[in-house]
């Protein structure tokens, strides 16, 4: 397989799309007025922390 044109980008882009979808779902909790702080990897604990931060911020931002 010396001249294979396969690259590792498609799995990387798929993973980024999932992270962006989760971040977008969290932002929807505040009507997209706040950009949530969601580090990668988005573990369940980090997702919950981002949700709590959005809910605690309320109308402050």
Give 61's pLDDT tier (boundaries 50, 70, 90): very low
Predicted TM-score (pTM) of the model is 0.74
**Backbone dihedral region for residue 49 (phi beyond 0: left; psi -120 to 50: alpha; all else: beta):** alpha
% of the chain beyond a pLDDT of 90? 59
Tens-place pLDDT, residues 10-37: 777 788 999 999 999 999 999 999 899 9
List the one residue out of 54, 42, 35, 34 whose CA is nearest residue 18: 42
30 vs 14: CA distance, rounded Å: 26
**Residue-averaged pLDDT of the chain:** 85
Q: Assess contact for 49 and 26: CB atoms under 8 A.
A: no
């Amino acid at each position: 397989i010396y001249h294979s044109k396969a690259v590792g980008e498609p799995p990387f882009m798929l993973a980024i799309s999932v992270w962006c979808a989760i971040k977008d779902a969290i932002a929807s909790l505040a009507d997209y007025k706040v950009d949530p702080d969601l580090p990668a990897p988005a573990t369940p604990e980090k997702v919950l922390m981002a949700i709590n931060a959005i809910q605690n911020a309320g109308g402050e931002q």
